[in-house]
Amino acid sequence: MTTATRSRTYLSVLVVLGLSHLLNDLMQSLIPAAYPILKQAYALDFVQIGMITLTFQISGALLQPLIGMVTDRHPAPYSPVVGMMFTLSGLVSLAFAAGYAMILASVALIGIGSSIFHPEATRMARYAAGGRQGLAQGIFQVGGQAGGALGPVLAALIIVPWGQPSLAWFALGALLAMLLLTWIGSKQRAISAEFAALRARGSRGVDVAVHAPLTIGIGLVVLTLLMFTKNAYSESFRSFYTFYLIERFGLSIPAAQMMLFVFLFASAVGVLIGGIIGDRIGRYRIIWISVLGPLPLTLILPHADLFWTGVLTILINLIMASAFASILLYAMDLLPNRIGLIGGLFYGLNFGLGGVAAGGLGMLADSYGVEAVYRFCAFLPLMGLLAWFLPRLDGGGTRAPH
């Protein structure tokens, strides 16, 4: 296949996208990383902590599919820059929030910023990927996961010793992200035009399959339920893991936040590995491995000592995170002409479903203790059996079955 007809992979664009995603999700991750400080400063209970997460997640979830639908029809290469402006304002207002209501308003601004960022950034990752879609989504998502992992570390090093106002310092990250996203926006027109031309010629890596409405409907419902299962378990860590470690093992806040970093870093590695392997063995197999593989480990976790809690945390989230790229690409293969919608829908689901889970788990923690959260969540991987109902797409999810 000649260069004129081969789908090109823009690695430099993907790396900058990944770095932008890192900065975006780093600023998001400061919210749960600051929970112990906010809980102490404002005398919050676990339900209020869960409501902060719910507000943040819902504010991101509601707008993302709508923004994705709009940008599918009217691409907006610079819209992620606008989203970063919302994130910047939310960080500054959270740093100087005077009460609980202001905390909720601040995290809502950060959620809105993320909702504007993801749909168009996902589209750009798709266009820049060429024939290496799993690798591209792995790079893009590992940036987000790595940013999420850095939040607890920076909270331990900066926010704990310097207090809530130090959150404002991270506005510099938003400014850097705006510069990077402006450069990406300048590249998007040429790359998207090349993508469209190659797809029209039927080039490898950009071909489009047409699926029956029933196939699309079943696939999206199953993928949504699988996403909920993964998000509910992951949210138990993001919102309550530090409290679990402090309560059960007597760790200090910085030590518990470093353990949270280990969990989030394992997720970042899992996303990248899953994306690369998914290109080789197919998305369907990766999803099965990811959703059911952690079950024995999640059942053991509530009964483990501190050392084995750390080991199991790494293994569980390494496996569980490996399917996110495959789930997203599976959905894109079902609706290949609605990349913005799929990006907004599934990143929105990440926010919305995670927020719903956080609210419910917060009530469970208040009623029965934070350890009950992990005894309950241990059974969530059983919902991975729903993967049985996924429509089989040939070639790892690029063509509909005949």
What does the pLDDT look like over 177-201, one tens digit per residue? 999 999 998 887 777 766 666 665 5
Specify the DSSP element, H or E, that contains 172.
Answer: helix 171-200
The pLDDT score that the predictor gives to residue 3 is 41
What would the pLDDT profile of 78-137 be if each residue is shown by its tens digit?
889 999 999 999 999 999 988 899 999 999 999 899 888 988 888 888 888 776 777 777
The pLDDT score that the predictor gives to residue 86 is 95
Judged against a pLDDT cut of 70, whether residue 388 lies above it is answered with yes
The pLDDT score that the predictor gives to residue 200 is 57
The pLDDT score that the predictor gives to residue 202 is 54
3-state secondary structure of 75: coil
The pLDDT score that the predictor gives to residue 400 is 35
Mean pLDDT of 320-342: 81
Q: Look at residue 2 and tell me if it is in a domain.
A: no
The single-letter code of the amino acid at 339 is I
Contact by Cβ (8 Å): 124, 184: yes
Q: Look at residue 6 and tell me if it is in a domain.
A: no
- Domain containing 60 — which CATH number? 1.20.1250.20
Mean pLDDT of 290-300: 89
Main-chain phi, psi angles of 303, to 5 degrees: -110, 5
Q: Look at residue 402 and tell me if it is in a domain.
A: no
The Cα 304–Cα 80 span in angstroms is: 42
The pLDDT score that the predictor gives to residue 81 is 93
Q: How many helices and strands (H and E) does the chain possess?
A: 17, 0
CA distances from 391 to 47, 221, 398 (A): 39, 11, 12
The pLDDT score that the predictor gives to residue 394 is 53
Q: Look at residue 232 and tell me if it is in a domain.
A: yes
The Cα 298–Cα 282 span in angstroms is: 25
The pLDDT score that the predictor gives to residue 198 is 60
Mean pLDDT of 231-259: 83
* Among the listed residues 72, 141, 67, the one whose alpha carbon sits nearest the alpha carbon of residue 337: 72
Judged against a pLDDT cut of 60, whether residue 392 lies above it is answered with yes
Q: Report percent pLDDT > 70 for the chain.
A: 89
Tokens 């203790």, located at residue: 369
The pLDDT score that the predictor gives to residue 1 is 38
Determine the length of the chain.
402
Quick check: pTM over 0.75?
Answer: no
Q: Report percent pLDDT > 90 for the chain.
A: 16
Which of 13-27, 70-84, 318-332 shows the highest mean pLDDT?
13-27
Domain that holds residue 216: 11-397
What value does the mean pLDDT of the chain take? 81
The pLDDT score that the predictor gives to residue 7 is 58
Look at the chain and report how many structural domains it folds into: 1
The Cα 39–Cα 284 span in angstroms is: 42
Contact by Cβ (8 Å): 233, 380: yes
3-state secondary structure of 127: helix
What helix, strand, coil percent values describe the chain, rounded to 5? 85, 0, 15
**Model confidence at 351, in pLDDT bands (50, 70, 90)?**
low
* Cβ neighbour number for residue 110 with a 10 Å cutoff: 28
The Cα 195–Cα 16 span in angstroms is: 19
The pLDDT score that the predictor gives to residue 398 is 38
Cα of 59 vs its chain's centroid, Å: 15
The Cα 378–Cα 372 span in angstroms is: 10
Exposed e or buried b per residue across 218-235, where buried means at least 16 C-beta atoms within 10 angstroms of its C-beta:
ebbebbbbbbbbbbbbbb
Contact by Cβ (8 Å): 50, 239: yes
CA distances from 381 to 34, 239, 304, 360 (A): 28, 19, 18, 17
The Cα 2–Cα 20 span in angstroms is: 32
**Model confidence at 399, in pLDDT bands (50, 70, 90)?**
very low
Mean pLDDT of 311-316: 90
3-state secondary structure of 399: strand
CA distances from 86 to 143, 316, 323, 341, 354 (A): 20, 33, 30, 21, 21
